[in-house]
Amino acid sequence: MDLDKAKPTRQHRRSPYESGFSIVELMIVVTIMLILLGIAIIQLQPSLQQLRANAALNAAKGAVRQGREASISQRRTIVLQFVTPAANTSCPPSGGTTACIELSQVSEPGNVVQPPFQITPITGSVQFMTFTGLDTPDGYGVPATGGIMFGGVSGGPQSGMQFQSDGTFTDGNGNPINGTIFMGIANIPATARAVTILGNTGRVHTFSGNDHGWYYGA
């Protein structure tokens, strides 16, 4: 008799730690992860919208201040324009651009406005707009539409808007004008932002706001 064959074989038992996930368990884990990810994205949305509004505000403030500084340093008139994106223009409708702020130099003689030397796109779904018609503490007026108000005119005076060589902000006839650039993301009042310019000095203020009021800074 073969003793080796008479011995019973010992079966190896797999411990729980050697077992893998079943398909059902994997599907449950993936579903839970997707739910948590969705919740996180929803919770982050307000913060992302605030960041986009602040980025647009800083871009507009930087463009305005650059225009004033260029007028003083170059001793030239610098024209400020708010441009709607369009194909084959200096403000192309790409990259989520909703508007552009352009700075152009005026050359003598003839007061000829040159092509823009600086183009600042406004992006992140931020538009030139107002929400409730509440004016900033500077009180330069609120436009009916469009978000741009200078010299008491919605969109700005037809004669143009420009920084003079002494830093003042005027219409195209050289008269100092005060005004405000209002902006925000549609249907989200908490993203309201504004940049104001005092005509007599070119001083710039920034504001953040909501449907209840305005606050200095962003």
Global model pTM greater than 0.95: no
* Each residue's pLDDT tens digit, 181-198: 999 999 999 999 999 999
Q: Is 162 helix (H, G, I), strand (E, B) or coil?
A: strand
Q: Quick one: CA torsion of 130, 195, 154, 87, rounded to 10 degrees?
A: -90
- Find tokens 């538009």 and name the residue: 127
38/187 Cα distance (integer angstroms): 22
Per-residue pLDDT at 21 exceeds 90: no
Within its chain, how far is the Cα of 75 from the centroid? 31
Residue 4 scores a pLDDT above 80: no
Cα 60 to Cα 197: distance, rounded to the nearest angstrom = 11
Strand partners, 99: 122
CA triple 46-52-54, angle to 5 deg: 100
Encode pLDDT of 155-170 as tens digits: 999 999 999 999 999 9
* For residue 1, pLDDT beyond 70: no
Q: Token digits for 159? A: 């004669």
Cα–Cα distance, 64 to 129 (Å, whole number): 18
Specify the 3-state DSSP secondary structure of 212. coil
pLDDT attached to residue 12 = 53
Q: Domain coordinates of the chain in residue numbers?
A: 20-216
Q: Which pLDDT score is estimated for 34?
A: 75
Averaged pLDDT of the chain:
88
Using pLDDT thresholds of 50, 70 and 90, give the confidence band for residue 76.
very high
pLDDT in tens, 167-180: 999 999 999 999 99
Task: Give, in words, the CATH class of 20-216.
Answer: alpha beta
pLDDT at 210 over 60: yes
Predicted confidence at residue 42, as pLDDT, reads: 61
CA count, 13 A, side-chain hemisphere, 22: 4
Average of per-residue pLDDT across 6-10 = 55
The whole-number pLDDT of residue 183 equals: 97
pLDDT at 142: 96
